[in-house]
Structure 1
Amino acid sequence: MTAEPQALDTSAAPSGGASEKTLRVLEAAILHDRFTDIVEEAGLAKATVHRILATLVEQEFITGDAERGYQPGARFLRVAGRAVSSIDISAIAGPIVDRLVRDVDCTIHLGVVNGFEMVYVVRKDSSKPYRMASRVGLSMPMHSSGMGKAVLAHWAPEQVDGLVEAVGLPARTEDTITDPAALHEELARVRERGYALDLGENERGTVCVSAAIRDHLGRPTHGISISSIALEHPGSSIEQFAPQAIAAAAAISRALGAPS
C-alpha cells in the first residue's frame, strides 16, 4: 500500500524565505525541464535548486531528474486539473468588468468561443438610460461581431477558411463582411492593432471595440467588448476605448494564467 504524500516539506530548502524559494523552483521546473534552465529561472544557487528539486520530486509535485529533465508530477497535475475545471470566468472577470464600466460608462460584454460562434457569458450595463438588446446566453456569428473577429485574428488562416466552409459568412446587416478575402484582410488589421471593431456589422445601430482573452495555455477562448449605440458613438468614435478594451482583456488573461 502506497503512503499518501504529506504536506509539502520545505525543510530541505535553505532557511530564511524557504517557502518563497521553493515556489520559485517549482514554477521554474514547470516552465522548464532542463536543470540549467531551472537554475537560471529561479535565480538561486545550483546546490539550493538541487535540494529543493529533490523535495519536490519526493512530494510528487514534479518528476524526473537532472539528467532526464523534469516534468509536472502527479500531485501537481491533480491540483492543476481541479483548479482549471473549476474556473468561473464570470467571477474572475467580475471586478475587472466593474472597473471598466465605471471608466468608460458603456455596456461591457464578455463572450466565450463555442464552435463557430461567440456566446455572451457576462453583460454589465452602463448608467445610460438605454439598454442593449443583448443578453447572457445569446450566441452570435464570429465574423460579424467584434469579439468574434478579435478571436479569429488569432486563428491560423486555414482555421478561418474552415469556418467559412462550415457556416459561411451570412449577412447580418448591409455592413457585414461576407467575402472571405475581405475577412482575411480585416483580421490582418485586427492582429496589427490588437483590437477589433464592429461598426453596425452584427446589429444595425450598435457599435463596439473588442479584444481577445487568452486562457492558461495562451489560447484565445474568450473576448471582451465595450459596446454602445451609434447615436452616441457615431462613425468609429467607439475606437477611443481600444486601450481600455486591450488592458481589460490582458488583465483577465493574466488572471486566467495566460503566459506573458
Structure 2
Amino acid sequence: YLTALEARHYVERSPDGANYQLGLAFRAHDRRGVELLTETAEPVLTALRDRLTETVNLGVLDGSRVIHTLVAESPYMMRLAARVGERGLVHSTALGKAMCAELPSDKVRSILKIHGMPARTEATITDPEAYLEELERVRAQGWAVDDEENQVAGRCLAVVIPSLDFPAAVSVSAPIDRMPSEQVPVVAKQLQRAAQTIARKLSA
C-alpha cells in the first residue's frame, strides 16, 4: 500500500529512509507553488525548446526523487524525453545534481541512502564522496551535467531556479552527438537566463 501511495505522491520516505511522511499531494502549500511554477515556466521553456530544438524539462525535488512537472519535447524523431510525472534518481540526473548542489551535504547523504546509487550506465557516479565532489563542481561552474550517466548516448544540462521556497531546476536533454562538449557552456548560459526569467516572473 505504501509503495502505491508513494508512486502517487501521497507519502514519501523520510530523509533517513526508515519512515514515511506526507507527500507532495498532501502538502497544499508546496503543491500550489509547484503548480504556479509550472504555469509560469511553460512559455519560457517552450520558447527555449524552440530555439534549441532539443527537449527542455522542469523538475522539482519531491522528497528523495526528481519529478518532472513539465516536458517540452524536441521536434526531432530521435530525442531524449521524460514523461510528466516521471520520477528520477538524484545521483544520475543533471536535474538532481543541480538541486542537490543547493542542499547541505548531510541532507544529500540522507537522500542518497534512501535509494542507494545504482549504476544506470558505466558512467554513473556510484560513490557518495565522488558525488559530493561533483556537486562542488556544479556550484563552481553554475550548472550540472549528466554525461551518459542516466542514459547511454545522452547528455543533459541543468541549472537551479533561484529564489524559490523549494528546490527546482530546468534542463536541456539531447543525444550526445547533437550536444558536443564545446556547446555545453553556450547552452548552459541559455538555461541560466531562462531560470532567471522564471524567477523574475514569479516574484513580480
Identity %: 33
| 2:178 counterpart SS class | coil
Label 1:96 to 1:239 Cα distance change in 2 as closer, same or farther (>3 A).
Answer: same
Q: Cα RMSD between the aligned structures?
A: 2.2
Counterparts of 1:139 and 1:216 in 2: how far apart (Å)?
20
State the partner residue of 1:245.
191
Whether 1:85 and 2:32 are equivalent positions in the alignment is: yes
State the partner residue of 1:199.
147
Report the AA paired with residue 248 of structure 1.
A
**Aligned residues, how many?**
175
State the partner residue of 2:68.
120
Counterparts of 1:249 and 1:235 in 2: how far apart (Å)?
21
| 1:154 counterpart SS class | coil
Report the AA paired with residue 145 of structure 1.
T
**Higher relative contact order, chain-length normalized (CA < 8 Å, sep 6+):** 2
Is the contact made by 1:111 and 1:224 (CA closer than 8 Å) also made in structure 2? yes
Label 1:133 to 1:226 Cα distance change in 2 as closer, same or farther (>3 A).
Answer: closer
- Structure with bigger gyration radius: 1
| 1:203 counterpart SS class | coil
Whether 1:209 and 2:162 are equivalent positions in the alignment is: no
Counterparts of 1:142 and 1:204 in 2: how far apart (Å)?
17
Counterparts of 2:183 and 2:127 in 1: how far apart (Å)?
25
1:106 positional shift:
1.2
Counterparts of 1:257 and 1:91 in 2: how far apart (Å)?
14
State the partner residue of 1:174.
122
Regions of 4+ moved over 6 Å: none
Structure 2 residue aligned with 1:162, among 110, 118, 129?
A: 110
Label 1:134 to 1:216 Cα distance change in 2 as closer, same or farther (>3 A).
Answer: closer
Whether 1:232 and 2:173 are equivalent positions in the alignment is: no
Q: Which sections of structure 2, spanning at least 5 residues, go unmatched? A: 1-27
1:234 positional shift:
3.8
Is the contact made by 2:71 and 2:81 (CA closer than 8 Å) also made in structure 1? no
State the partner residue of 1:34.
none
1:90 positional shift:
2.3
Counterparts of 2:108 and 2:168 in 1: how far apart (Å)?
16
Whether 1:256 and 2:202 are equivalent positions in the alignment is: yes
Report the AA paired with residue 89 of structure 1.
L
Deviations 1:104-153 (A, max 9, x none): 22110111111111111111122323232421111110111001100000
Report the AA paired with residue 140 of structure 1.
G
Q: Which sections of structure 1, spanning at least 5 residues, go unmatched? A: 1-80
1:207 positional shift:
0.6
Whether 1:188 and 2:188 are equivalent positions in the alignment is: no
Counterparts of 1:180 and 1:157 in 2: how far apart (Å)?
10
| Matched ranges for 1:91-102 at <5 A | 91-102=39-50
